[in-house]
Amino acid sequence: MATAYFGTDGIRGRVGTDPMTVDFALRLASAAARVLAGDGGTVLIGKDTRLSGYLFEAALEAGFVAAGVNVLLTGPLPTPAVAYMTRHLRCRLGVVISASHNLYEDNGIKFFDGEGAKLSDELEERIEAQLSAVPLTRASRELGRARRIDASRLHYQEFCAAVLPQGSDLGGLKIVIDCANGAAYKVAPRILADAGAEIVPIGCSPNGRNINDGCGSTAPALLQLTVPGVRAHVGIALDGDGDRVVMVDHLGRLVDGDQLLYVIAAAARAAGTLRGPVVGTVMSNFGLELALRRLGVEFIRAPVGDRHVLARLKDSGGQLGGETSGHILCLDRTTTGDGLITALQVLGIMKQTGRSLAELAAGMEKLPQVLVNVEVERRFDPSTVPVISAAVRRIEQQLAGEGRIVLRASGTEPVIRVMVEGRDEAEVRGCADELAQVVRAAAEVATAST
């Protein structure tokens, strides 16, 4: 059955609106306890820096403790750190309170199993089936206990530091680190500084409301100005929960997830350590596919969403995949997308080769790609609308086999994503704007008829 609440990356929404309410969080914790920790055990709960994180943390804690499950509270910690710590501390379940790259008005809840992997569709369905039940409250002698383990971030810092080649460090590198005023604001600068780098922090002063606000991987303009302004070698921009990363070279040019994937894949190929194909998504730039082809590396496209990339990696025996947004999976390193792990691998390659990020990324030529997000009242499948399908066919004929069109409904936001890719940037932009207008008009018609 289809899940009503779980999307492509957990449950997410506007705070105060179903499902992001205290009542729902309490019922969700109780439902998850029934399905995944019916005989007790321990759950780890981490969060980002949103003001609403406090209330959802308290509600989830109450639901789990009442159901007889012990709770460990980490405070602000990146999503991938919670995944790692869940496995490291042998917890039954890991929970993250975060809406990732969204602004502070939103929040979300996502789960990891005891191995630090995201839950299967089947487990999410089983949890949803329990949401209508009255939350458990066990007898006093059977209640769980809760305690804070803020110092646990040191374990994650050590885990990240081990990514660098043995005996090497980041000495001699000046790095601007932008943590999006989010979950990585403590651990990221410390990891880089402990590795010997000179650090210039921005987006590291959260106040509960400024997460992802004009900073981080979704808004890297300030980073692009700062890196050449302070004469840094490189810049790193994480998103609010630390599972995405984009970087900036010494000239202030953005290096996105496709380019980072190429840099890591090329280095692994040269070292003879790359296993299986590289997996991208339908939104990955065609230039990545061409660059990997020149290296003799197979490239596979998956639907958008890290769980789809992960599924293709497991099916194909691959270890490396990711999305243009900077959500990179390095399965030889960890179980989920981790912005810091990705950045540290790139920094390690820079140190080993003595080459700048600009030089490393130059092996991949990006083709012009325009993405337009069309806001809609409700998400729908654009491929089922005849007027949109007709417009797609018309534009495909115009591109004459020298480009791609991707239309899809976002799994996390009420938008239809319109992507057009081709050889000529002006033509691509015109096609994207034309198609976006058709989608916008169709959405308005659909809204008026409901």
Confidence of residue 286 (pLDDT cuts 50, 70, 90): confident
The answer on 393 and 316 residing in a single domain is no
349 vs 344: CA distance, rounded Å: 9
The answer on 114 and 27 residing in a single domain is yes
The answer on 271 and 386 residing in a single domain is no
Handedness of CA 90, 93, 98, 100 (dihedral sign): positive
The answer on 104 and 218 residing in a single domain is no
Residue of 30, 52, 98, 100 marked catalytic: 100
Mean pLDDT of all residues belonging to the chain: 94
pLDDT at 241: 97
The pair of structure tokens assigned to 16 is 């105060």
Last residue of a domain, one of 253, 281, 309: 253
Domain region containing 107: 11-152
The answer on 306 and 239 residing in a single domain is no
Last residue of a domain, one of 206, 233, 253: 253
Contact assessment for residue 60 and residue 98, using Cβ atoms and an 8 Å cutoff: no
Give the pLDDT confidence of 83-98 residue by residue, as tens digits: 999 999 999 999 999 9
6 vs 329: CA distance, rounded Å: 21
Give the pLDDT confidence of 195-214 residue by residue, as tens digits: 999 999 999 999 999 999 99
Contact assessment for residue 76 and residue 15, using Cβ atoms and an 8 Å cutoff: no
Average pLDDT over residues 364-383: 89
The answer on 26 and 102 residing in a single domain is yes
Question: Is the model's pLDDT at 230 over the cut of 90?
Answer: yes
Residue 318 DSSP symbol? -
Least confident of 175-184, 320-329, 401-410: 401-410
Question: Is the model's pLDDT at 236 over the cut of 60?
Answer: yes
The answer on 147 and 178 residing in a single domain is no
Last residue of a domain, one of 313, 346, 366: 366
The answer on 396 and 273 residing in a single domain is no
The answer on 204 and 145 residing in a single domain is no
Tally of helices (H runs) and strands (E runs) in the chain? 14, 18
Residue 350, in any domain of the structure: no
The answer on 214 and 293 residing in a single domain is no
pLDDT at 22: 97
pLDDT at 304: 85
The residue type found at 17 is T
Residue 161, in any domain of the structure: no
Question: Is the model's pLDDT at 8 over the cut of 60?
Answer: yes
Residue 351, in any domain of the structure: no
The answer on 333 and 283 residing in a single domain is yes
Residue 166, in any domain of the structure: no
**Contact residues for 227 (Cβ-Cβ < 8 A; gap 6+):** 176, 234, 235, 248, 249, 250, 252
For residue 316, what is the domain's CATH number?
3.40.120.10
Domain count, the chain: 4
Question: Is the model's pLDDT at 450 over the cut of 70?
Answer: no
Angle at 387 between CA 385 and CA 388, to 5 degrees: 65
Question: Is the model's pLDDT at 263 over the cut of 80?
Answer: yes
Residue 5, in any domain of the structure: no
Residue 72, in any domain of the structure: yes
Catalytic site includes residue 100: yes
The answer on 139 and 17 residing in a single domain is yes
pLDDT at 217: 97
In the chain, the percentage of residues whose pLDDT exceeds 70 is 99
Residue 119, in any domain of the structure: yes
Residue 286, in any domain of the structure: yes
For residue 403, what is the domain's CATH number?
3.30.310.50
Confidence of residue 2 (pLDDT cuts 50, 70, 90): low
- Backbone angles phi and psi of 330, in degrees to 5: -120, 85
The pair of structure tokens assigned to 93 is 């379940």
The residue type found at 142 is E
Instruction: Please give the helix or strand (H or E) that residue 426 lies within, else none.
Output: helix 425-448
